[in-house]
Chain A
Amino acid sequence: MLARLWLQREWRHFLPALFAVSFSCLMLLVQAALVQGIFGSAAVYIDASDADIWVGRPGTQSVNYGQPIGMDVANILRSHPDAETVEPYLWVEGDWQVRRGGSAVSVYVSGIVPVCRGLMFSRLLTTAMRDRLREPGAVIVDLADLQTLDSQVGGRAWINGTPVHIVHAVPGLRALGGVNVVASMETARALQGDVSLGMQPTYVVMSLRKDADPKAVIADLSARAPSSNYEMWTAEDFAQRSQRYWMLDTGAGIAVTFMAAIVLLVGAVVTGQALVAAVNHVRTEFAVLIAMGVARRTLCRVVLILSLLIGVVGAIVGVMGAAAVLALASSRNVPVALTADITLWCMVAVLGLAIVSGVFAMRGVLQANPATLLR
């Protein structure tokens, strides 16, 4: 009760603490949303597609590091009773030039089967768009990448020296480290240039019948046709594997974790200082209560409740602020994504920060000596 009244009536004293907690919460959420948005794009090929199982070279760390595999694996997949659709997917790296001999932009070309119910990018491309991809040299790019590519829908360019033209631009194709370009398998092979690779795709993807368990199908296929030439992953596992690679193996994750730690540390210091100052301000009042027989642990609990209240209020303000910032970012095509569990974890971290600050501030209660009131 004292904690609530104290915060309610003397909120100005706690503004620095509330600001520190809110700002820490906002920073954590925005960082998390950017991380999820940016690193989530490492798996856009998987997340935007309807394949349940991905098959590639053993040890592939991320989608973009795929290597050619034999198309014969497609027959093994099709032989499974739960198989619904099996199709190849070709990954080609290239240089985009608007003018021959001009400056180049790195692009990742995704060669897909442009059929009506194709698995790849099924969540981004309509049937009409897939039909357009059947034209030789037709490509689709992300809307936000048009500026980077210095082009527009209908515009012409060269990839690895081969002419292409943009037939559509859609949102949601942005990638990490380069520009995604979607083409038909035939166009992608033409861009690949290396004839020695023949018809080999980079991955073979498969969708399953309804209610089939991808893990069980993988276990079944591995038992039926064991091979060291390919490895199978569920779409979920492969997406996580790709994101984890970018997060951890590239060092980006450590940098983000370090930033989050700095945010929390600064927040804890500012909040702690504000709380310590507030508690020290009423140390003599606490000493009177101790003199009267109120136990120190009761007063420590008051300080902890106060810090928790500051944490809750700060977290709510922080979430509201982060929602506004992320809405603005999203409207400007900045890749941001935030899940409920990450939001919850950020709020828990901020509440932890506030409680740690409260523990620091409890020193004021422990140091309150009623004997010093007698002068």
Chain B
Amino acid sequence: MEWMNCASVRPACTRPKTHDAIVATNVHKSFTTSAVRVDVLRDISLTVRAGEMTLISGPSGCGKSTLLSIISGLQPADRGTVQAAGTDLAALTTAGLYQFRLKHTGFIFQGFNLFSALTAFEQVALPLIYMGMPRRQASQAAMQALRDVDMARHTTARPFQLSGGQKQRVAIARALAKRPSLMFADEPTSALDAENGQRVTELLSRIARERGATVVCVSHDPRMMRHADRVITMEDGEIRNDTSLLSRKDQHDHAA
């Protein structure tokens, strides 16, 4: 099944020119629970390129979600710097972080986190209106995003009328609608069956390749590993392995 409306995007085999979208340097984060201080991230340095789907993997508690929240501007690091979309996140105030996220980021979470009172169309359009987009423009953007994830036929459906995969596609449309340059996804396939998990994985991969967006996913899902351009493996708050699969896939695409 065709997932994305390719009329509005470039052919799948054409990869936009990449650049460093996120540069994290010596990022350190610790939490104190019950008077015990735990170093969750230990001086991590990382560069994430635009146009790629980067997968962060590792065992539970290794710090991958904390790293995602820091490089996306959801929480500050204790030490170190993060440059995202050309902005030094540490230098931003709370209001500045809102503006940064508003302008640059889209999020997909493990739980779909959809308002049970809203239809699929409203789930996507309302946040755009609350972000200050004119209603007409918000409606058009929402419809386009729903078409992009093949949910145009379910615009009036409410969450209880949708399957898990459909809900996640609405959540992706919500994140996509404002056309963010940075997409962050936390275990986006863990609540989905094999078929829907595969669809979401392919969709995220395409968003990176065809729109030139920076897609960073945290996941254990082997299906995502197969589609990722790069896999970063973490353990005990440190990066243990960083593998780029891009050249191999490009060769494969070329041969095909």
Contacts and interface: CB of A to CB of B under 8 A. Distances in A.
Interface in B54-101: 65-66, 68-69, 72, 74-75, 98-101
A1 B129 contact: yes
Contact of B175 (A8, A292, A370, A375): A292
Interface stretch (B113-121, B202-210, B229-237): B113-121
B103 A293 contact: yes
Contacts, number: 83
Nearest to B126: A2
A192 to B, nearest CB: 73
Contacts of A373: 107, 109, 111, 113, 186
Nearest to A281: B116
Given A289-B130, A291-B101, A293-B101, A2 B107 contact: no
Contact of B69 (A282, A284, A288, A374): A374
SS of B interface (majority): mixed
A126 interface: no
Contacts of B155: none
B127 interface: yes
A10 interface: yes
> Looking at chain A's contact residues, is the secondary structure mostly helix, strand, loop, or mixed?
helix
A294 interface: yes
A345 interface: no
Interface in A265-294: 282, 284-285, 287-289, 291-294
A285 B102 contact: no
A289 B117 CA distance: 15
B131 A294 contact: yes
A371 B69 contact: yes
Interface of B: 65-66, 68-69, 72, 74-75, 98-103, 105-107, 109-111, 113-118, 122, 126-127, 129-131, 158, 174-175, 178, 186-187, 218
Interface of A: 1-2, 5-6, 8-10, 282, 284-285, 287-289, 291-295, 298-299, 370-371, 373-375
Question: Which 3 pairs, one residue from A and one from B, show the smallest C-beta to C-beta distance?
Answer: A293-B102, A374-B65, A293-B101
Given A1-B129, A6-B117, 12 more contacts: A2-B117, A5-B117, A9-B158, A282-B115, A288-B174, A292-B101, A292-B107, A293-B99, A370-B74, A374-B66, A375-B65, A375-B110
11 contacts: A2-B115, A9-B158, A284-B113, A285-B114, A292-B105, A292-B178, A294-B102, A298-B130, A374-B65, A374-B66, A374-B109
